[in-house]
Amino acid sequence: MDQANILIIGGGVVGCATARAVSQRWQDVFLVEQFPRVGMATSSRNSGVIHSGIYYQKGSLKARHCVEGNRMMYEFCKKHNVPFRHSGKLVVAADAQEAADLEALKKKGETNGVQGLRIVGPEEILAREPHIRGVAALDVPSTGIVSSEDLVRTYARLAVDNGAHIVSRAKVTAMEPKRDTIRVSLRIGDNGDAQDETIEARCVINAAGLYADEVAAMLGNNSWKIYPLRGEYCEIRGPRTSLINGLVYPMPHRHGLTLGVHFTKTLWGTVLVGPTAIYVEGKDNYERGRLGIADFARGAKTLLPEIEESDLQLGYSGLRPKIVGPDAKDAHGDFVIQRDPKVPNAIQLVGIESPGLTSSPSIAEHAAQLAAEVLA
């Protein structure tokens, strides 16, 4: 039986960032990931946007970690050569009614500590994005974009350099709290040659993303249910990528489900259109019943009238781990970052959806602080 100071369950961006953070302070750190490589689920199936923190409720963990994570993300990417672009973005109001809401969005961002926000008119919109049509926009200079796959791999590499052990194709099958440890049963390998292993850890960190509710339930905590929310993308390639220069967002959905279908000029020069937001059955349901290209084109024309179906091709899709279900009137939700009330040497990171990528370095520091309490 292996002994560990810290066992992290989940090799997404938050799990790998946490592995890097805790391995700077402790030895005998393990991270287990059920897929063949780290970052294969939610972490690499998104827009890759470095968010600013304008959307989230004052005092929320999302607001706190997004604003702090934004600053930390740029520092980390520069230091470790992770591809990124600090481009800023425009949140565009399509009509006068939406324009009236821009000031409230600006005030929310300023309350959260986001700097440099200003409202601009149609002339500046056209100067930055000649093909976008809107009556006003919020200029958000701290927003950018990062290569999410490179980010996850860099976190993981640095963790390993610090002495952490990353085990892929490792699925947690059971957990049993002991007096001062948690005994974690694992199934490692593919079906034909899988082996059962056990790790006894002084501290377990649940960073399992879409499966975080199931991992928490193994310790008897049924406080949360993950509702997979699928976001689908289309993509523009070739000369028509000139329709978009940077990052262009609509006004966010009032009910908090998503930030709306937006335009993202990627680091490799294509343009993403999306994501949509549809609750689905199944935590692996990336493709069943996907929207057609016509649906994307119709929605995109509000801000980008020149776009045609022929400009688009279907792209990838991703799933975010919502802890607020489809029947809720308010789908905002917040991150859960806490020691388990009944098993205090377990740390629960649940509902880490957007802005989880941006927040990852800040969440990792928060998790490391909680781990220090456990290991004191």
Beta bridge partners of 197: 186
Other C-beta atoms lying within 10 Å of the C-beta of residue 231: 22
Residues near 28 by Cβ (< 8 Å), separated by ≥ 6?
Answer: 3, 4, 5, 6
b/e map of 28-65 (b: 16 or more CB within 10 Å)? bbbbbbbeeebbbbbbbbbbbbbbbbbbbeeebbbbbb
Place of tokens 């607001």: 63
The pLDDT assigned to 255 comes to: 67
The pLDDT assigned to 261 comes to: 84
CA distance 133 to 164: 50
Cα within 13 Å of Cα(166), Cβ side = 28
Contact 33, 160 (CB under 8 A): no
Beta bridge partners of 182: 177, 201
Contact 363, 17 (CB under 8 A): yes
Beta bridge partners of 349: 337
The pLDDT assigned to 190 comes to: 87
Question: Which structure tokens are listed for 305?
Answer: 């009238």
Alpha helix segments (H runs only) across 84-192:
96-111, 122-128, 148-161
CA distance 362 to 304: 35
Mean pLDDT, consecutive 10-residue stretches, the chain (376 aa), reads 94 98 98 97 95 97 98 98 98 95 97 98 98 98 98 98 98 96 96 91 98 98 97 96 97 74 95 94 95 94 96 96 91 94 98 97 98 97
CA distance 313 to 248: 19
3-state helix, strand, coil in the chain (%, to 5): 30, 30, 40
The pLDDT assigned to 257 comes to: 65
The pLDDT assigned to 4 comes to: 97
Q: What is the pTM of this model?
A: 0.97
The pLDDT assigned to 256 comes to: 62
Of 376, 371, 22, 25, the residue nearest 203 (C-alpha): 371
CA distance 105 to 357: 21
Task: Please give the DSSP secondary-structure letter assigned to residue 327.
Answer: T
Contact 235, 265 (CB under 8 A): no
Residue type, 245: N
What is the rounded radius of gyration, in angstroms, for the C-alpha atoms of the chain? 21
Q: What domains sit in the chain, N to C, each tagged with a CATH number? A: 2-45+149-226+332-375 (3.50.50.60), 89-141+228-322 (3.30.9.10)
